[in-house]
């Protein structure tokens, strides 16, 4: 794994064959993506976006092994994004939710995911086409 200078992501592995799930360190926290490789097109379709967080949980390797046991035929490759130690579990959950929300209407993505949208994001104030994003300083608040 390469070491990153990013604020959230510490390490990553990308487009790794499912046979190499064991290469993920135990109790790794972060986000992972399952892909189905389409050799004729040389493309990787997103099948699922998930997270592993919290000290009490098995971690990313455990989640990936679970997907291997239950849905191995639906995905062939994965990417794993480990978060820094100071990133809280709720922050990892928020990142997962945002990605899940982005892919919620994709016909191929999230075939394994029961929760397609991110309810907390739906509660965030949405701007209409006429409204502009303004900082509190710009609005005088």
pLDDT digits (tens, 9 = 90+) for 51-102: 998 666 679 999 999 999 988 899 999 999 999 999 998 899 888 888 888 8
The answer to whether position 91 is within a domain reads yes
CB contact set of 55 (below 8 Å; sequence gap of 6+): 27
pTM of the model: 0.75
Domain count, the chain: 1
Residues spanned by the domain of 33? 2-118
SS3 content of the chain, % helix, strand, coil (to 5): 30, 25, 45
The answer to whether position 84 is within a domain reads yes
Q: For residue 135, what are the β-bridge partners?
A: none
Note the pLDDT of residue 126: 57
Split at pLDDT 50, 70, 90, the class of 106 is: confident
The answer to whether position 25 is within a domain reads yes
Half-sphere exposure of 63 (CA within 13 A, CB side): 24
The answer to whether position 6 is within a domain reads yes
């Amino acid at each position: 794994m390469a070491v990153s200078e990013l604020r959230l992501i510490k390490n990553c592995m990308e487009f790794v064959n499912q046979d190499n799930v064991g290469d993920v360190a135990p109790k790794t926290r972060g986000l992972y993506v399952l892909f189905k490789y389409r050799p004729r097109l040389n493309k990787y379709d997103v099948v699922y976006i998930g997270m592993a967080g919290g000290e009490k949980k098995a971690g990313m390797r455990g989640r990936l092994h679970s997907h291997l046991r239950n849905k191995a035929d639906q995905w062939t490759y994965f990417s794993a994004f480990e978060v820094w130690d100071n990133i809280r579990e709720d922050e990892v959950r928020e990142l997962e939710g945002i990605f899940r929300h982005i892919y919620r209407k994709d016909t191929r993505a999230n075939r394994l995911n029961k929760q397609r949208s991110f309810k907390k994001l739906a509660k965030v104030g949405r701007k209409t086409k006429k409204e502009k994003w303004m900082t509190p300083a710009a609005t005088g608040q």
